[in-house]
Amino acid sequence: MRKVAIIGIGQVPVREHWGKSLRELAVDALWQALEDGNRNEIDGLVVGNMLSGTLSEQEHLGALIADFAGFPGVEAVKVEGACASGAAAFRQGLLAVASGQKNCVAVVGVEKLTERSGWHTTSALATAADADFETSVGLTFVALNALVKQRFMYEHQVSKEQFAYFPMLAHQNAVHNPQAMFRKPITIEQYLKAKMIAEPINLLDSSPIADGAAAVILVPWDDVEKNSQAIEVLACEVGTDTIALHDRQEMLQMKGIEISAQRAFATAGITPQDISFFEPHDAFSIMTVLSLQASGFMSAIEALNHARNGYFTIDGTLPICTMGGLKGRGHPVGATGVYQIVEAVLQLRGAAPKAIQVKNPRYGLTQNVGGTGATVVTTILRRKD
């Protein structure tokens, strides 16, 4: 297996892109990444997407995007792993280069969620859960996360208010990220007054439905080791868990995250203490808490406490959601995992907007979660020594 570098990155602002088609968003991000990486050819394309078939009546995104980006003929395929589709695509692109099969692979995550009505999008997103045993009885995605949060609050005897500091942190960073959807801070008062979506998850606990596309260019490390922009992919590992929440022995354990993170740390040969910043999958605030625990950073209660004491801010011990996370940047599901990686590369290059640049980061960790933790992809990137 060869070492692999990310040499180019691209992203379109996360918005409700009513005037742009799925392919336009994808090609825009891809071309930006090629320009950034100073490349004009690729020999492979992997697309991460979850819902284009359901919401845009368009499958076959591998060939579609290869074609419209100007690379007909090139090997291309789509990869899906619910909300972890973006990082799952990254994993396949990584394998193609690491194995020696390909020398320059583009990974594009793209999603257009505002194509249909909110009802349509909510049901489409629920296809990440178990259709026969969860969604068939009316559970939506926010309801599933609400069940987890209820259980957590009961077991740990904590209040709703304690979760407020996660979305507040995310928005605080998103203010400075021009690609983010919500560039305004939120206050504890706003959080406490926010509309309830599925008790105890309120509007400000929830990442927004959005459109977006992000892309990276992967090449063999040996080709670019002298390039100061190159960032090494140290590990990218996948773990899974039961698809249905009720099939888990312990609802709060998040085994998929544990497996994925343990594999990633083992492959990278480092520990959670080495990580300079963490991009969690903060689709709902409860997910951030559970993943800080399951990834080996700290207990869930420590996570809740640290959220209010500055531990997770840009100049804290472990900055998280440095560009706004899913909550502030937005969550175009199949693109999210690639946005996280693009943002981590910006941090490691020292090219993040000034106010949210982590100081001298060495290792960045991103984590993309599908379903209620059934597919988890943990990626560790390293800045050149």
Calculate the CA dihedral of residues 271, 272, 273, 275 and round it to 10 degrees: 100
**Between 133 and 311, CB nearer to a copy of itself:** 133
- Judged by CB under 8 A, the stretch of 125-133, 168-176, 190-198, 297-305 that binds a copy of itself is 125-133
369 near a copy of itself, judged by CB under 8 A: no
Say how many C-beta atoms besides its own lie within 10 A of residue 175's C-beta: 16
Side chain identity at residue 146, one-letter code: A
Q: Which is nearer to a copy of itself, 36 or 241 (CB)?
A: 241
Stretch of 131-139, 220-228, 347-355, 356-364 lying at the interface with a copy of itself (CB under 8 A) = 131-139
Please enumerate in sequence order all residues whose Cβ is within 8 A of that of 353, keeping only pairs 6 or more positions apart, or say none.
176, 177, 178
CA distance linking residue 183 with residue 54, whole number of Å: 30
Give residues 242-281 in contact with a copy of itself (rule: CB under 8 A). Answer: 242-244, 247, 255-256, 259
Of the residues 38, 41, 100, 159, which one makes contact with a copy of itself according to CB under 8 A: 100
CB of 215 to a copy of itself, least distance (A): 18
Q: Which of 14, 17, 25, 92 binds a copy of itself (CB under 8 A)?
A: 92
Do residues 110 and 213 make contact, with C-beta atoms less than 8 angstroms apart?
A: yes
Which one of 17, 60, 83, 104 is the catalytic residue?
83
Q: Which of 13, 53, 185, 200 binds a copy of itself (CB under 8 A)?
A: 53
80-94 burial string, b = 16+ CB within 10 Å, else e? bbbbbbbbbbbbbbb
For the chain, the farthest-separated pair of C-alpha atoms sits apart, in whole angstroms, at 57
Beta bridge partners of 239: 376
d(CA 81, CA 62): 15
Contacting residue, 180, 197, 224, 238, with a copy of itself by CB under 8 A:
238
Question: With respect to a copy of itself, which residue has the nearer C-beta, 36 or 80?
Answer: 80
Give the C-alpha separation, 228 to 221, whole Å: 12
- Considering CB under 8 A, how many residues would be counted as binding a copy of itself? 64
In angstroms, the CA 129 to CA 282 distance is: 18
- The answer to whether 80 contacts a copy of itself (rule: CB under 8 A) is yes
Catalytic residue set: 83, 331
Residues at the site binding a copy of itself, with contacts judged by CB under 8 A:
1, 21, 23, 50-51, 53-54, 56-64, 66-67, 72-82, 88, 91-92, 95-96, 98-101, 123-124, 126-132, 135, 237-244, 247, 255-256, 259, 370-371, 374-375
